[in-house]
Amino acid sequence: MLPIADTTVVEATWVMIVKSLAIFAVIFGILPLMTVLERKLIGRFQHRYGPNRVGPFGILQPLADVGKLLSKEAFRPANAIGTLFILGPLLPVLSGVLALAIIPWGNVQDGVGLYGIDVPIGILYFFAVGSIAFYGLLLGGWSSGSKYSLLGAMRGAAQLISYEVAMGLSLLGVIMMGGSLSLVDIVEAQGSLWFIVPQFVGFLIFMMAGFAETNRTPFDMPEADAELVQGFMTEYGGMRFGSFLLVEYMEIIVVSGVAAAMFLGGWMGPGPGWLDPIWMLTKMLGLVLLFIWVRATLPRLRYDQLMGLGWKVLLPLATLNVLVTAILVVTT
């Protein structure tokens, strides 16, 4: 079998299986906790407690939620397009899981790379795989046969074209400074100075585009629970709806992971080598908290406002950032 991409360190197959299982176990352990954390924090931001009834401090709330979702009927509207409707929630899950693979948790230690996979095309893989999630959104919204879903999907498409370019450009500065596309190499290049300092503009643009990528407030127009009743998810019920929600959190983790690796020095931190994944996780959780904080603060933008922001502000800024970085990298 041909390898999908050149890997820099060759490992035994069982090592890779164990690694992927470990990543799954950790991330899928964090995901439900993140939903509780988000609901509790949003509550605190609004002077209330949030869920605190199920289990100690409401920590078992996701269990109750999933139990409820599983007991629901997998409903399908009469004029939905069957296959695509089922494919809708599956594609984003696939994309999220695939994107998890490149988040670096640490460098090679004892012959084992503490990452899912380190590909030389690194960050391109993230963009390629991350964009698949939007197909799920578009297909799900279109095939539902409902106007709210279609509107949500349309907004999703409009959103996609406005932030993707700026997102790619925002990382270009980091790639130039790191001199590599591989996330591991980029983290290694941040040994002395985290890239958030020289690339602060890039970080801001990336985070804004990240909010749009994950469909989070203030850019949650595809969902827009107020006016589109969850947009592309309107017609979904049960665990299909649940997987859309799950993917949203998975994407937050992925975007936080990439941002932490690209700008916050990834696993860099004081302490012995085995602390590396914990440092990485801490930085990711910090960014997740930022996501929640922003959600508690900002109202939803109209989608022409997002397009204006993407094309008129973020794109020129990102281009300028790339230009200045390029000149500085070449001259020094």
Partner 1 sequence: MAVLGAGVAEFPYLKDEDVVEVQRGPEPGGVGGAYRAFGETLRGLKTTMARLIEGPLTIEYPEEKTPVYPRFRGRHKLHKFEDTGLEKCVGCSLCAAACPADCIRVVAAENIPGDRVSAGERYAAVYEINLSRCIFCGYCEIACPFDAITMGHDYEMADYDRSDLIFTKEMLLAEPIERTPLRAEGE
The two structure tokens encoding residue 238 = 């049960």
For partner 1, the closer of residues 298 and 327 by Cβ is 298
Residue 91 CA from chain centroid, whole number = 14
Residue 49 binds partner 1, judged by CB under 8 A = yes
Does 48 sit near partner 1 (CB under 8 A)?
yes
The span from the CA of 290 to the CA of 127, in Å, is: 22
Residue 33 interacting with partner 1 (CB under 8 A): no
Please identify, using beta-carbon distances, which residue of 1 and 47 lies nearer to partner 1: 47
**Which of positions 196-225 make contact with partner 1 (CB under 8 A)?**
none
Site string for partner 1, 299-328 (x = CB under 8 A): --------------x---------------
The nearest distance, CB 50 to partner 1, in angstroms, is 8
* Contact code string over 255-294 relative to partner 1, x by CB under 8 A: --------------------------------------xx
Inter-CA distances, 72 with 54, 165, 231, 239, 291, Å: 20, 39, 20, 8, 29
C-alpha distances in Å from residue 1, one per residue of 5, 16, 79, 139: 12, 15, 42, 32
**Contact criterion met (CB below 8 Å) for 266 and 122:** no
**Which C-beta is closer to partner 1: that of 274 or that of 293?**
293
Q: For residue 142, what are the CA distances in angstroms to 75, 166, 230, 254, 330?
A: 16, 26, 14, 26, 47
* 24: contact with partner 1 by CB under 8 A: no
Q: How far apart are CA 35 and CA 247, in angstroms?
A: 12
**Minimum distance between the CB of residue 46 and partner 1, rounded to whole angstroms?**
7
Q: 22, 132, 296, 307: which one contacts partner 1 (CB under 8 A)?
A: 296
Question: In the bound complex, what is the minimum distance in angstroms from residue 45's beta carbon to partner 1?
Answer: 5
To the nearest whole angstrom, how small is the minimum distance from the Cβ of residue 204 to partner 1? 9
**C-alpha–C-alpha distance, residues 114 and 32, integer Å:** 23
Q: Does 147 bind partner 1 (CB under 8 A)?
A: no
- Per the CB < 8 A criterion, the answer to whether 105 and 267 are in contact is yes
- Residue number with CB closer to partner 1 (44 or 68): 44
Quote the CA–CA distance of 158 and 198 in Å, as a whole number: 31
Q: Does 298 bind partner 1 (CB under 8 A)?
A: yes
Helices (H) and strands (E) in the chain, counts: 11, 2
Q: Return phi, psi of residue 217, to 5°.
A: -55, 140
Q: Residue 160 or residue 314: which is nearer to partner 1 going by CB?
A: 314
Q: Does 41 bind partner 1 (CB under 8 A)?
A: yes
Q: How many residues bind partner 1 (CB under 8 A)?
A: 14
Residue (157 or 296) nearer to partner 1, CB: 296
Q: Measured on CA atoms in the order 214, 295, 28, 195, is the torsion positive or negative?
A: positive
Place of tokens 């696993």: 267
**Binding region for partner 1 (CB under 8 A):** 41, 43-49, 293-294, 296-298, 313
